Structure 1
Amino acid sequence: MGQRKEKELIVEELVEKFSNSKSVVLTDYRGLDVAEVTELRSKLREAGVDYKVAKNTLAYLAAKEVGYESIQEYLSGPTAIAFSDEDPVAPAKILADFAEDHKNLEIKSGLLDGNLLDVNEIKALADIPPREVLLAQVARGMKAPITGLVHCLKYPLNSLVYALNAVKETKE
């Protein structure tokens, strides 16, 4: 296979990844050793996140094809891209946590549903609690008014029972 055909296949794969991903995070992995990169890839894979090292020109061609030209300014130096087509928060959370312990990993930028995010927005995205925690918070929020209503209905009835009991005792 010729070098040109190989590059075309890489661009096609990246176009597919950009198109199908809910979120994308661009990183500079310079300075990480092989063991650290392997550990990072393993953590990302467990969360269903694909982590690809890509030549910047090929990544830009793919991004441009799907309308994400805005990432061009972040495509310099060694670039690895995390793609998530399931959980939009997973790549940001894993990469931000990993970057805290491994200062050589630099988060450059990202995309969330096609919108360009800067480093601070990626870190804010990483701080969003997991889906299960959010669902529990919603359920708790829905339960609180119902519990309050039950108490509101219960106490007037209890008061009426106590009042009737007091009247009964005074008549005896």
Structure 2
Amino acid sequence: MGLNLQEKQAVVAEVSAQVAQAQTIVLAEYRGIEVGDITKLRANARKSGVYFRVVKNTLARRAVQGTPFEVLAEKMEGPLVYGISADPVAAAKVVYDFARTNEKLVITAGAYNGKMLDKAGVSALATVPPKEVLLAQLLGLLQSPVSGLARVLVAVAEKKTATA
């Protein structure tokens, strides 16, 4: 049974509210996935703070209209599940991790920062290390010249004391 007009408007309003806060949206085709598997995927999404929903494509197109995610409208075809997150990596990571273990979930497209991503782009986004790891790597890079200089100075000082 289809949705009446008020229910459709409510769905569009709900999805629009999520899109307004989002940094990333991932689209994946879910044809043939068992209910138990999709339930696990929803639970993982919930834990990661990802809004995860099956929405009629026409309603989803209306929800993204006038937003940076409007570039996805042309990819909204077939049975799709939408992963939407305010975290730039979370939606891509949840869908990508699940798709690696279940070949029936096929990533079709995504969008980040107003740019459309293909399957490879979503995969690349999903494999970006967490923010804490990136900050630690940056700190290590910033410290390496200083620690190298300190080692050279210590070596020079030891050489001078050994020759004196």
TM beyond 0.5 = yes
Give the partner amino acid of 1:106.
V
Tell me whether 1:111 sits opposite 2:111 in the alignment: yes
The aligned runs of 1:137-152 (5 Å cut-off) are 137-152=137-152
User: So what's the TM-score if we normalise by structure 2?
Assistant: 0.92
> CA contact under 8 A between 2:108 and 2:119: conserved in structure 1?
yes
What count of residue pairs does the alignment treat as equivalent? 162
Question: Please, which runs of 5 or more residues in structure 2 have no aligned partner?
Answer: none
Q: Give a deviation string over 1:70-126, Cα, whole Å, max 9, x none.
A: 2122111111111111x2112112211211110110111111122211111101111
- In the alignment, what sits opposite 1:170? none
CA distance in 1, matches of 2:66, 2:4: 20
Identity among equivalent positions (%) equals 36
Measured on the aligned residues, the alpha-carbon RMSD in Å equals 1.5
**Which string of whole-angstrom CA distances, capped at 9 and with x for unpartnered residues, describes residues 132-159 of structure 1?**
2212211221221111011111111111
Q: Which residue of 1 aligns with 2:97?
A: 97
Unaligned runs of 5+ in 1: 165-172
The 3-state SS of whatever aligns with 2:120 is helix
**Which residue in 2 is equivalent to 1:78?**
79
Contact 2:71 2:115 in 1 (8 A): no
Q: How does 1:1-172 map to 2 (within 5 A)?
A: 3-85=4-86, 87-164=87-164
Residues 39-84 of structure 1: CA deviation (Å, up to 9, x unaligned):
1111111111110110000000111132533212211111111111
Q: Secondary structure at the match of 2:65?
A: helix
Tell me by how many angstroms 1:37 deviates. Answer: 0.4
